Amino acid sequence: MLIEVEAVTFDDFGTLRYGAGEKEDIIYPIMRTLKKEGLDFKKRDFLEEYFRIDTTYREMKSRTLHEHLLDDIIAEVLEFLGHKPKNADKVIRRAVDEGLKTRRARWYLDSVDVLLTLRKRGYKLGLISNTHWRLLDELRRKFEAYFDVITLSYEHGYMKPHPSIFLITLERLKVNSNCCLHVGDDPEADIEGAQRCGIKTAFVKRKAKETGADLHINQLKDLLAFL
């Protein structure tokens, strides 16, 4: 069975890449960098407020699908602790960037080959990712080598399964919904979200679940047999 489409969009984590198993939460290198910037606070107070605000944001996201940026949480924590550093946005950005540099996500073994093969076959490619972590310039350049369009929830403002994040990607790819296939590993965010927009779907069974997707594959390279 061949799936006739002009474009293929992909989820990121769990589909193309996976976490490498970090030794510590990202907040710790961020906190150390803020201290190097001259901000004085007690570690316990900072962490307590950070996890409280982070929980609040997560609960809000689950209700509204509105995305935020990690920088916003850090700004709220510092404000609560009474810190308003000069050039606060730049200070927070530097600290968050140092935290992001410690993350070690890895590509699944077949991901890059699949992307390159699809590009050679003439498909338009898009990335649709739920993330409140800013994409560092080096990684963005790598993504731009594979994808025609990159849609990140923190830049768009809403996360999957909100229809707008799919629709804006289709608009930027200049394809109709029935001419696109979305590939992901989350039954709700990826499969149901894309289907509500009339997009064909392929589910990567990383966690061995069944969904209502048009196609189920065990690994990403299996996709090539259908395109």
CATH for 7-18+106-226 is 3.40.50.1000
User: What pLDDT digit, counting tens, does each position of 7-19 carry?
Assistant: 999 999 999 999 8
| Residue carrying the six token digits 């992901």 | 184
Tell me if 112 sits within 8 A of 142, measured CB to CB: no
125 vs 10: CA distance, rounded Å: 8
The crossing angle, in degrees rounded to 10, of helices 70-80 and 43-64 is 130
Domain ranges for the chain: 7-18+106-226, 27-101
82 vs 204: CA distance, rounded Å: 46
Question: Residue 208's pLDDT is what?
Answer: 67
User: What pLDDT digit, counting tens, does each position of 105-154 carry?
Assistant: 999 999 999 999 999 999 999 999 999 999 999 899 999 999 999 999 99
136 vs 205: CA distance, rounded Å: 29
Instruction: Provide the greatest CA pair distance for the chain.
Output: 62
Residues of the chain with pLDDT > 70, as a percent, come to 100
39 vs 189: CA distance, rounded Å: 38
Under the banding of pLDDT at 50, 70 and 90, the label for residue 65 is: very high
Q: How far is CA 210 from the centre of its chain?
A: 23
Spell 118-151 as b/e; 16+ CB within 10 A means b. Answer: bbeeebbbbbbbbbbbbbeeeeeeebeebbbbbb
The answer to whether residue 85 scores a pLDDT higher than 90 is no
